[in-house]
Amino acid sequence: MGNKKKSKPSRSKKKPKTSADQALALDYVRAWAQPAPPPPEPSVADADDFLPVLATRGGDVLFELHSHSNHSDGFLSPSALVERAHRNGVKVLALTDHDTMVGIPEAVSAASKFGIRIIPGVEISALYNPREVAGAGETVHILAYYGMCGPSRPDQLDSVLLNIRDGRYLRAKNMLQKLTTLKVPIKWEHVTKIAGDGVAPGRLHIARAMVEAGYVENVRQAFNKYLGDDGPAYARGSEPFAENVVQLINRTGGISALAHPWSLKNPDAIIRSLKGAGLNGMEVYRSDGKVDGFSELAEKYGLLKLGGSDFHGRGGKDESDVGTVKLAITTLCCFLKMARSIWSSAMKDILLKFAEEPSATNLGNMLKFGRLTNFAGFLQ
């Protein structure tokens, strides 16, 4: 018995086999995310033509669904953001600046150099108020994701976004007045210089001005002490009601998702109300990838479980880098399957509008976010 060798447990753990559903989801997502070859012959084309027929390719498919450029409160230009995303292995990037989509064309142009697909997006500032009483309620942010041709009714969306941006100027001035009363005077010229030409100033720009003026040590302290939702220098702008924003996104051919619900005071009531208005999804993954209890809320209301880094490019240790949040391949597949009908319907509306009125304006709307390089890509 002493000569028998005891079998030692193996230190290397076998990776669990990929299920059939996961494999199908991976093929589905890869086919959409990765650059397409020349269109196949009609005889072998996909039945619904939403996805090009591609051979399965190796490698992970990393989506980044929440990022900002210097066209709102980010630090990097859309081109620099795309380049950083490429370095981090991102294959699909949604640029979701606050209340503007002006940076999308630059992002699309830069992405073509790296084989990255851009999802035209925007993070819309809104107000949740069950009684719709002006001056009451809670600020919420709704993410909108559009297909490659953008919103089907761009005039409607642009009008709402412009009104929000105009309100941001008034809001910023009100905040500066409150800061002056608190003996923390900040010059308007200082804030607008930080924001940049044509960029509606937000709280982050004011916070950066406060840091540069020496009133606070960092941006987080500026928010905690002065600019947070309950801070003494906080002010509201002209945000539309959240339910109306969700309906607008649906009406213009986008997928709507509630951003960072963990920052809300009463997330359950807000999510229930927005679901009734047609909300499609919500972020359950924080910028550090943690889920906490929001996955259960998404399941409760039948919403897509999404998330992203909310990258701004501040460069601080407390900010997650672009591409940090790695969504499950099955989650991405569900997202794209929902997008298929919504984005295809929006594209149909855009094409019909151009067919009825082949004007330069309608053509510009159709090509606003980049050229259509091939028919297969056009159908996505």
pLDDT digit of tens for each residue in the chain (380 aa)?
Answer: 445 444 454 444 445 556 878 888 888 888 888 754 444 444 444 434 444 333 334 457 899 999 999 999 999 999 999 999 999 999 999 999 999 999 999 999 999 999 999 999 999 999 998 765 555 578 999 999 999 889 999 999 999 999 999 999 999 999 999 999 999 999 999 999 999 888 889 899 999 999 999 999 999 899 999 998 889 999 988 899 999 999 999 999 999 999 999 999 889 999 999 999 999 999 999 887 778 789 999 999 999 999 999 999 987 777 899 999 999 999 999 999 999 999 999 999 988 988 998 888 888 877 888 655 443 444 44
Same domain, 144 and 285: yes
- Tokens coding 202: 């937000």
Locate all alpha helices (DSSP H) within 223-359, ordered by sequence. 242-251, 267-277, 294-300, 329-356
Residue 238 falls within a domain, yes or no?
no
Would you say 138 and 263 are in contact if contact means Cβ atoms under 8 Å apart? no
Q: How many Cα atoms occupy the beta-carbon half-sphere of 269 within 13 Å?
A: 9
Same domain, 133 and 204: no
Sequence-ordered list of residues with C-beta below 8 angstroms from that of 297, at least 6 positions apart, any chain: 261, 267, 268, 271, 282, 284, 303
Residue 11 falls within a domain, yes or no?
no
Residue 131: is it exposed, middle or buried by C-beta count within 10 angstroms (0-12/13-18/19+)? exposed
Would you say 370 and 110 are in contact if contact means Cβ atoms under 8 Å apart? no
> What is the model's pLDDT at position 24?
86
Q: Is the dihedral of CA 216, 220, 224, 227 positive or negative?
A: positive
Same domain, 275 and 143: yes
End-to-end CA gap in the chain: 68
Residue position matching structure tokens 């084309």: 45
Phi/psi at 330 (5° precision): -70, -35
Return the H-helix or E-strand segment holding 139: strand 138-145
Single out the residue of 92, 96, 104, 58 nearest to residue 323, CA to CA. Answer: 92
Single out the residue of 138, 107, 136 nearest to residue 121, CA to CA. Answer: 107
Residue 362 falls within a domain, yes or no?
yes
Single out the residue of 324, 151, 156, 333 nearest to residue 240, CA to CA. Answer: 156
The CATH code of the domain that includes 64 is: 3.20.20.140
Range of the domain at 175: 166-227
Count of other CB atoms within 10 angstroms of residue 87:
12
> What is the model's pLDDT at position 22?
84
Residue 43 falls within a domain, yes or no?
no
DSSP conformation class of 51: S
Residue 294 falls within a domain, yes or no?
yes
Q: pTM value? A: 0.83
Residue 103 falls within a domain, yes or no?
yes
Residue 104 falls within a domain, yes or no?
yes
Q: Is 203 left (phi over 0), alpha (psi -120 to 50) or beta?
A: alpha
The CATH code of the domain that includes 211 is: 1.10.150.650
> What is the model's pLDDT at position 240?
94
